[in-house]
Amino acid sequence: MTNDEPEEDRTTLRRPAPAALAEPIVHMLDIEAADGQPARRVTIGPGPLTIGRGPQSGLVLPSGDVSRSHCIVALDREAAIVSDLGSTNGTIVDGLRAEGPVRLAPGARLTLGPFTLVYRSGRAADFARTEEVEKDLARAGRYVAALLPPPLADGPVRADWRFVPSTNIGGDGFGYGWLDEHRFAVWLLDVSGHGVGSALLAASVMNLLRVHSLPGTDFTDAAAVLAALNDRFQMDRQGGLYFTIWYGVYDTRTRILGFGCAGQHPGFMMLPGLATVQPLWVKNPGIGLAPDWPYRRAEVTVPPGARLYLFSDGAFEVATTDGRQLTIGDFLPVLAAPSQPGLAEAERLWQAVRNVARPGPLEDDVALLILDFT
């Protein structure tokens, strides 16, 4: 258009840009491992999802405690609604028996017989990110587990263990080995918090203890080891993380076990012929909480046939099916109970932990270590 030409009124029509399509919400049920069934995830589609023992169910849960047609989950706009179908044992939602249709909040836990189903909703991309995080946590757990020593079936000190990392990886670790011809070191640690950070610190300490890499430190002296660890791993320099540890050294010549605790609950010794366990504990703060702390140690004589139990707090700080929170006092009778022929002691303890805890993944790592002294 030039200045000589009359101006034209122009009206420009612009077609509105297509509205950005909101990513749809997806609805899932995470079924926790139980009754020999592996963990799995199922999608709740647009149609109702029937759940029951019967083969005609959309989601089959094979257990005699699940009714053939147990309940139904249906979507109502953006919400999921669960309705019990007159099941024998009821559909439990977050601990309460559903008496009518119940709207599920994200994270709601449904209990059907031995099975726990966790309701989740969100955008598909968010689920993908969460799955990646969970895979990273599982990798971290496998790495820590790879640092654990093999069981010892022979020799003056025999060792067996069970290690079950939690889904959130809790920062447990342990190890043992000969310092020289006569002295055997054993330790069990627990880093504060959960997650990859805790696992990283646990792995750092485990690697250091495995190769005795604390310059100038006498690894046969429990107090010296704790002091050196405390000097190396002050909380302010470890991202706010600290850890507790039980460390001991057994001398085959004297049969003396010298040990130290740093913020950890006791180890327990079972003497042959006795039905009770003896706590082995020294009061010291956790590693990293107090600079220059004068760590203390103690000693005990180990008679032939004695057994030492070391375990993480994940073994006893469990929630039961009836909602109780257990403490170490609830675990001691398990230690003192007689061994079962044909069942490894570490496995016996692990089964005891698993049986008393409510169904589903445990909230913390479980580390169980048993040493037998000949």
Partner 1 sequence: MELLVVENAGTPMRLVLTGRLDAAGTEKIEVIFAARVRAAPGHVLVDLTGVGFVGSLGIRMLIAAARVAERARRKFILFGAQPAVAEVFNTVALDDLVPVTPDEGTALAQIAA
Write out the residues near partner 1 by the rule CB under 8 A: 190, 192-194, 235, 240, 242, 244, 263-265, 283-286, 289-290, 325, 327
Residue with smaller CB distance to partner 1, 58 or 195: 195
Is the separation of the CB atoms in 334 and 270 below 8 Å?
Answer: no
Residue with smaller CB distance to partner 1, 301 or 325: 325
Residue with smaller CB distance to partner 1, 157 or 191: 191
3-state SS assignment for residue 163: strand
Provide the minimum distance between the beta carbon of 260 and partner 1 in the complex, in angstroms, as a whole number.
12
Closest Cα to residue 90, out of 120, 115, 60, 107?
Answer: 115
4-13 long-range contacts, Cβ below 8 Å, gap at least 24? none
Residue 340, token pair as written in the block: 């079962």
Residue with smaller CB distance to partner 1, 345 or 365: 365
Provide the minimum distance between the beta carbon of 176 and partner 1 in the complex, in angstroms, as a whole number.
23
Question: Residue 279 and residue 265: Cα distance in Å, rounded?
Answer: 9
Q: Which amino acid is at 77?
A: R
DSSP result, 244-303 = EEEEEEEETTTTEEEEEEESPPPEEEEPTT-SSEEEE----PPBTSSTT-----EEEE--
Residue with smaller CB distance to partner 1, 240 or 333: 240
Provide the minimum distance between the beta carbon of 86 and partner 1 in the complex, in angstroms, as a whole number.
36
Residue with smaller CB distance to partner 1, 32 or 190: 190
Residue 154, token pair as written in the block: 């022979």
Q: Which residues pair with 311 in a beta bridge?
A: 368
Residue 160: CB atoms within 10 A of its CB come to 16
Provide the minimum distance between the beta carbon of 342 and partner 1 in the complex, in angstroms, as a whole number.
35
DSSP result, 164-195 = E--TT---EEEEEEESSSSEEEEEEEEESS-S
Residue with smaller CB distance to partner 1, 66 or 223: 223
Give the burial string for 89-112 (b: 16+ CB within 10 Å, else e): bbbbbeeeebeeebebeeebbbbb
Provide the minimum distance between the beta carbon of 328 and partner 1 in the complex, in angstroms, as a whole number.
8
Residue with smaller CB distance to partner 1, 251 or 363: 363
Provide the minimum distance between the beta carbon of 159 and partner 1 in the complex, in angstroms, as a whole number.
25
Provide the minimum distance between the beta carbon of 140 and partner 1 in the complex, in angstroms, as a whole number.
17
Provide the minimum distance between the beta carbon of 235 and partner 1 in the complex, in angstroms, as a whole number.
7
Closest Cα to residue 269, out of 298, 296, 243?
Answer: 298
